[in-house]
């Protein structure tokens, strides 16, 4: 049961439009996504606006005092969004500030802000408009997305992005003042595991974790392992390309698919592999990459600018190009890489993410932002 502490400021978090804690649970990211707010509730009252239609409180830790507002009458999301400022007026009105979890759904927070005039923090974990463009949406849709994004930045009091690259692009796109955009990266929980190179086994195991979508460039990496049948590739995740990818890799026993699963189970699977591979065509600030580096597993990723600011080739990971030939050459190089040197790379990765992305550091950054919001 939510008990408001009058001595604390209250944050109301608006989930991505249509999203819910149940969906986070199904996707295996519930604990990871809530962990920040479990930490923050020590200093702030936390209210979460969810689009779930069942009791979402069951997904919280028993010790948590977070308040969940959910769509218990199963209204259409549009109708539910319009009703929020009226139906939950007493709760939302007493908030000190609002925050979005992602840009999509910011219109609901803006609608609520219109009634109660509370400061709004617009968070964007990736470049919303750029991703829509790279997904090759129609010109009409792109223009609509641009208007939506522009309005969101116009009505927010502060915005948060996860990388300096995203900040630079958005500042340039909308001529925003530098002080209106804060960079707060994604976080990891420091892990004490220590990867050790297996010297006796010539067969190497590679793993990918993520959505099975065009963005992830999975056809090209599967091409690689269809030729390098002496090595294994495990793909964990689901998505719109699942059937096509499975058909494309049919009859290749060294390529295996698994459904998305709880984060703890994913980490166990990653630890059993020699290398993690992320062949994406584009990324924002991928959490799974940071988490894998924290486990001390060597990573191979494509050389997109959102990633090359994290990975320094040959120092804390390995970079390659997007095409199957480059990916194949990089996989072969990794298999034959000096074991002592690759151990150093893995250790460097652990140190790098702990120094820059440990959750305690991110909590401090969030708290500072909240305390200064007006």
- Residues 84-102 have pLDDT tens digits of 999 999 999 999 999 999 9
Please state, in angstroms and as integers, the Cα–Cα distance from residue 67 to each residue in 45, 244, 265, 348, following that order.
8, 41, 28, 40
- Clarify whether residues 296 and 363 are in a common domain: no
- Which residue range is the domain that position 153 belongs to? 9-187+358-372
- Clarify whether residues 278 and 328 are in a common domain: yes
* Chain centre to alpha carbon of residue 336: 32
Q: Please name the helix (run of DSSP H) or strand (run of DSSP E) that holds residue 226, with its range, or none.
A: helix 218-227
- Clarify whether residues 249 and 345 are in a common domain: yes
Say if 3 falls within a structural domain.
Answer: no
DSSP state of 24: H
How far is residue 122's CA from residue 109's CA, in Å, rounded to a whole number? 9
Cβ–Cβ under 8 Å, residues 282 and 210:
no
Collapse the DSSP code of 48 into the 3-class scheme (helix H, G, I; strand E, B; otherwise coil) and give the result. strand
- Clarify whether residues 155 and 175 are in a common domain: yes
How far is residue 68's CA from residue 50's CA, in Å, rounded to a whole number? 7
Residue 67, pLDDT above cutoff 90 = yes
Residue 1, pLDDT above cutoff 70 = no
- Residues 168-213 have pLDDT tens digits of 999 999 999 999 999 999 999 876 555 565 554 688 999 999 999 9
Q: Angle between the 139-155 and 106-116 helix axes, to the nearest 10 degrees? A: 30
- Residues 285-330 have pLDDT tens digits of 999 999 999 999 999 999 988 788 899 999 999 999 999 999 999 9
Token pair 């939510």 is found at: 2
How confident is the prediction for the chain on average, in pLDDT? Answer: 93
- This prediction has a pTM of 0.92
- Residues 270-283 have pLDDT tens digits of 999 999 999 999 99
Q: What are phi and psi of 361, to 5 degrees?
A: -70, -40
What pLDDT is recorded for position 201?
Answer: 67
How far is residue 182's CA from residue 38's CA, in Å, rounded to a whole number? 22
Q: What is the CATH number of the domain that holds 231?
A: 3.40.50.2000
Query: Domain total for the chain?
Result: 2
- Residues 109-141 have pLDDT tens digits of 999 999 999 999 999 999 999 999 999 999 999
Beta strands in the chain (DSSP E): 9-14, 44-49, 67-69, 97-100, 120-124, 158-161, 181-183, 205-209, 232-236, 255-258, 275-278, 299-302, 318-320
């Amino acid at each position: 049961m939510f008990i408001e502490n009058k001595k604390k400021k209250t944050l109301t978090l608006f989930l991505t439009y249509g999203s819910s804690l149940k969906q986070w649970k199904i996707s295996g990211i519930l604990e990871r996504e809530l962990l920040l707010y479990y930490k923050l509730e020590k200093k702030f009252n936390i209210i979460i606006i969810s689009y779930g239609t069942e009791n979402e409180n069951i997904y919280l830790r028993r010790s948590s005092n977070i308040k969940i507002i959910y769509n218990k009458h199963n209204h259409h999301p549009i109708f539910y969004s319009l009703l929020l400022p009226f139906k939950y007026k007493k709760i939302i009105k007493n908030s000190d500030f609002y925050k979005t979890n992602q840009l999509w759904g910011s219109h609901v927070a803006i609608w609520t802000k219109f009634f109660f005039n509370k400061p709004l923090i617009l968070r964007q974990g990736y470049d919303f408009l750029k991703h829509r463009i790279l997904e090759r949406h129609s010109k009409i849709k792109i223009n609509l997305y641009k208007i939506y994004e522009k309005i969101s930045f116009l009505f927010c009091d502060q915005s948060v992005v996860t990388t300096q690259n995203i900040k630079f692009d958005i500042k340039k796109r909308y001529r925003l003042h530098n002080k209106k955009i804060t960079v707060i990266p994604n976080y990891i929980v420091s892990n004490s595991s220590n990867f050790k190179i297996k010297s006796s086994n010539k067969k190497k195991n590679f793993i990918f974790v993520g959505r099975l979508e065009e963005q992830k460039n999975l056809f090209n990496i599967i091409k690689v392992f269809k030729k390098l049948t002496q090595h294994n590739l495990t793909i964990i995740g689901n998505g719109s390309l699942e059937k096509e990818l499975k058909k494309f890799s049919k009859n290749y026993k060294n390529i295996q698919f698994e459904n998305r699963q709880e984060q703890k189970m994913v980490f166990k699977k990653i630890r059993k592999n020699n290398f993690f591979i992320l062949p994406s065509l584009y990324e924002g600030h991928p959490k799974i990459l940071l988490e894998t580096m924290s486990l001390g597993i060597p990573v191979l990723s494509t050389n997109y600018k959102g990633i090359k600011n994290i990975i320094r080739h040959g120092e804390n990971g390995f970079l390659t190009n997007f095409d199957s030939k480059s990916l194949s050459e990089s996989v072969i190089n990794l298999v034959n890489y000096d074991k002592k040197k690759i151990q150093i790379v893995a250790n460097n990765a652990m140190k790098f993410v702990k120094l820059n992305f440990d959750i305690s550091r991110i909590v401090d950054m969030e708290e500072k932002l909240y305390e200064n919001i007006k």
